Structure 1
């Protein structure tokens, strides 16, 4: 799907939490706020799709200020820190190229000029639950303005400041069209924060687009599963019961009524049941 289709089709599934950091600026224009620009545009474009909860970037940057990321994944200590963000996915990256050029031609009767802005960026998306880098992509955007004057009539045009933002947006749109399907491949889940008799309290609610009557499966989260390099691949998950969403707690919490299972012991997570019509998180 294109970004335009994501924006115009209504989304009915549960929303996942995204944290976007300020992108690094690796261009020769090191003093410009290029990383801020592309982070802001990325947040705007993802918000327009209506599929995500976007966390406040200032708070995210404070938590991650001392962390460094690599394509190999996160260390155990970094993973513990990153989980303080309370997000499902973290988007970070680098502006790798930025340029604005002017070209033109001139004759006795006619003058023409073309301004071109070009931006390239790399993005990495990290699964906060496991620390795995699930997407590493590059996007490039180009924007142009053409001016023409014939016999003194027409536009000569000074520098158009909106040109670079159009280039940023073009690069981000290409990135977004890869980010969304990568996120969709990973099932939505949330944490159980408390169990009291037949009530299960979860850390997702109205803001996550959950609905009264949603049927969920309850899993006990077991030991870490690591690869031979010691990186976390995921966790053992044991299905221990199910519950129906019966009430909300503010915007970010909800209560499930236990339908099956007993003796629940934290840590637990919940997933939308395959029997729920909204399980796929699809667009209708």
Structure 2
């Protein structure tokens, strides 16, 4: 009886230990994200010699958003200085940009104020900065906005002097960073959720002697022996009320299995694959896509 009890206990422990190991092996493909058109729509600090291309607040917001997205470990951020030009050239076909998603943002509100209170033996000064940020998330494969929202952030600092002792309330330049960061922080989680919840997509670039070359590689987490589903694109229809084009669900026609990954940068990475399934038309490869779900 004692031996039976010990054997049962060992079996239970083994089952408990296996479950988290399987969860850790779940595959996740990092999404490629490009940030562009983050503009400053406010009038703050826009003097006679204001340079729109070198707006410090615009750069602040882009740097803060990039840092927050990178810290999540779920994205590859593409540095595209020519993104505006590429978007104009691509039109509806934003796949040419090389990103899964494009983030468009703007600083919609910004204000700074200083308030003080003077008493007989003490004085206080409070500096407050308020910033409003608007974000749109565009899916490059469809050109549709899949998330749009705005948020406000606040930051303040207070200094106090008693009988002439204490800190002086000098200009605190870090408050603008903190206010913008606070506003973006309210939106980043939603951006991450929207990107991660949607299936990852890749495309067949070429078929060469039975080897299927797809976009994406090691930096996204793709490795040899990984398998993905191949779909024939669904029909595209237009909603007559909105004029928006909608791609209907695709049809599963096969699977690709990664043999090798190549490429030096996220933009140039490719994977060489084998394929099993219905024959693909090599002259119409744009009619197919690859997904992790």
Q: Structure 1 length as normaliser, TM-score?
A: 0.82
The answer as to 2:136 corresponding to 1:121 is no
Structure whose residues are more often helix by fraction: 2
Q: Deviations over 1:10-50 (max 9, x none)?
A: x9510111111132222122445322321221111101111
- Structure 2: give runs of 5+ residues left out of the alignment: 1-23
Q: Is the 2:234–2:247 contact (alpha carbons within 8 Å) kept by the matching residues of 1?
A: no
The answer as to 2:247 corresponding to 1:239 is no
Counterpart for residue 70 of structure 1: none
CA distance in 1, matches of 2:185, 2:27: 22
CA distance in 2, matches of 1:263, 1:26: 48
CA distance in 1, matches of 2:35, 2:112: 26
- 1:264 Cα deviation from its structure 2 partner: 4.5
Counterpart for residue 275 of structure 2: 258
The answer as to 2:184 corresponding to 1:172 is yes
The answer as to 2:289 corresponding to 1:269 is yes
The answer as to 2:239 corresponding to 1:227 is yes
- 1:197 Cα deviation from its structure 2 partner: 4.3
- Structure 1: give runs of 5+ residues left out of the alignment: 1-8, 68-76, 275-284
CA distance in 2, matches of 1:44, 1:218: 33
Q: Deviations over 1:209-252 (max 9, x none)?
A: 11222111111225423222332222552222112111111241
- 1:177 Cα deviation from its structure 2 partner: 1.6
Aligned positions, number: 254
Counterpart for residue 181 of structure 1: 193
Which structure is higher in RCO with an 8 Å CA cutoff and minimum separation 6? 1
Q: Structure 2 length as normaliser, TM-score?
A: 0.80
The answer as to 2:62 corresponding to 1:45 is no
Q: Is the 1:195–1:264 contact (alpha carbons within 8 Å) kept by the matching residues of 2?
A: no
Larger Rg: 2
- 1:181 Cα deviation from its structure 2 partner: 0.9
